[in-house]
Homo-oligomer: A and B are copies of this chain.
Amino acid sequence: MRTVAEHLNLCLEQVAPLAPLDVLLPDTVGCVLAEDVVAPFDRPVVDQATCDGYAVRSHDIVGARPTEAATLEVLGELRAGDTSPASLIPGAAMRIASGAPIPAGADTVVALETTDQDMRRVSIHGEVPVGSNILRRGQDVSQGTEILTSGMRIDARQVALLAGVGRLRVRVHPKPRVVVVSIGDELVEPGQAGGIGTVFDANGHALACAVADAGAQTFRVAAVPDEHDTLRRVLHDQLVRADVLVTTGGLSYGAGDTVKEVLSPLGTVRFDNVAMTPGKQFGIGTVEGVPIFCLPGDPVAAQIGYEIFVRPALRKMAGWTDYYRPAIMAKVDRGWESPAGRREFVRVRVTGTPDAGYDAVLTGDHDRLLLSALARANALAVVPEDVTHVNAGDEFYCMVLD
């Protein structure tokens, strides 16, 4: 029997960060940068006004005050987007819009509010320090400087900077493409009729969502029956678009289970008991070179197995160096007997604050695999292998799922 830590290590060893690709800017959001980005252009590309006003020579407004305005002839008007070179003669001003290039000769911009806004001869009612309301060429970003470093996550603010310096393509670790296959004769789609011998396929839908939530691309295959040929064909068809395969079900000792027989000849998959509850057997390996994770059929056990083993591996593939959910210590609200030698993951709802501490209320019996209890939980309390007797008030690390 393998420990949870051993199986997790095997899962992480099975995968590597995906090879970097040049990706169009809008598709990089949520990805991890795989290059140190150097600015290809200055930002701004020319000195520009940061507010609406008048471009002037500061020398010409020395001594201006409310009672004694400096009055300057307005030579013209500059708009954002103007490309014709403009130049300012002494004793004159140019009306200028926010974002417009500063004319040669001007060294400051007087904001509109401190003038009479006249378009022919403007009266300026105060001095303004040299360089006011001007963003100099390259003052935000200078061409050739490193602006973002490999390993950062790209979000809206990084996209703004990349776009702002003219980058259209960026080298990132692409999002892993994950194919989710649930296996079982008993599985029917939600919306169909239920009845004896049927189980609604919760796994396929839930894992597809959990994979997408981890920032990966997800392709869900409708549930596959326990038939060798069908499963072999589905896996073969899906491999072309998969960086990872995730299966659920087909792992028990029952005579009708097929996943081991089908997978074993195709690659390196091993099936082992892992010392945890819920869950028992897990598979890990490759199929035609593609990493595959085999999870139990029970949907609570499958989702917990996904959280413990698959999500960290997907984050590694996406280029993250931090693979894990945050955890906080919380006091459980009741006692129970926890199985010896197994790490137990218990569905809890954690509330509290850093100051007051955290409480973890079990959302169902610790040993019943209830989807209703998982849906109410926001964390998994982790009871170590050597703890067999839990008392109300004991503290455990809780993996925060929200």
Stretch in contact with the other chain, from A44-52, A60-68, A237-245, A318-326: A44-52
A289 interface residue per 8 A CB criterion: no
Residue of B nearest to A220 (CB): B26
A142 to B161, CA, bound (A): 53
A199 interface residue per 8 A CB criterion: yes
A114 interface residue per 8 A CB criterion: no
A291 interface residue per 8 A CB criterion: no
A327 interface residue per 8 A CB criterion: no
Contact yes or no, A197 B44, CB < 8 A? no
Q: Which of A36-64 contact B (CB under 8 A)?
A: 41, 43-46, 50-52
When the two chains form the complex, which single residue of B157, B191, B197, B205 contacts A82, counting CB atoms closer than 8 Å? B197
A130 to B206, CA, bound (A): 32
Residues of B within 8 A of A51 (CB): 252, 280
A249 to B264, CA, bound (A): 60
A131 to B288, CA, bound (A): 43
A220 to B308, CA, bound (A): 37
Copies in the complex: 2
Tell me if A's interface is mostly helix, strand, loop or mixed: loop
A141 interface residue per 8 A CB criterion: yes
Residues of B within 8 A of A117 (CB): 253
Q: Which of A193-208 contact B (CB under 8 A)?
A: 194-208
A156 interface residue per 8 A CB criterion: yes
Contact yes or no, B252 A157, CB < 8 A? no
Chain A contact patch, size range: 35 or more
When the two chains form the complex, which single residue of B157, B195, B354 contacts A377, counting CB atoms closer than 8 Å? B157
Residue of B nearest to A212 (CB): B29
A177 interface residue per 8 A CB criterion: no
* CB contact under 8 A between A160 and B375, given known A81-B198, A199-B80, A220-B26: yes
A354 to B352, CA, bound (A): 13
Q: In the complex, which of the residues A161, A190, A203, A377 has the most CB atoms of chain B within 10 Å of its own CB atom?
A: A190
A191 to B168, CA, bound (A): 5
Contact yes or no, A185 B375, CB < 8 A? no
Stretch in contact with the other chain, from A13-21, A228-236, A363-371: A363-371
Contact yes or no, B205 A190, CB < 8 A? no
A148 interface residue per 8 A CB criterion: yes
Q: List 22 A-B contacts (CB under 8 A).
A: A26-B208, A43-B200, A45-B198, A51-B280, A80-B297, A81-B184, A81-B197, A81-B198, A83-B196, A85-B196, A112-B253, A135-B369, A139-B370, A140-B370, A147-B372, A148-B375, A155-B209, A155-B213, A156-B213, A162-B205, A164-B371, A166-B194
Further pairs besides A43-B372, A135-B369: 7, Cβ < 8 Å:
A52-B252, A77-B255, A157-B206, A160-B371, A161-B372, A164-B200, A167-B191
* Interfacial residues, chain A to chain B (CB-CB below 8 A): 25-26, 29, 41, 43-46, 50-52, 77, 79-83, 85, 95-101, 112, 117, 135, 139-141, 147-148, 155-169, 184-187, 189-192, 194-210, 212-213, 220, 226, 252-257, 280, 297-300, 303, 354-355, 368-372, 374-375, 377, 401-402
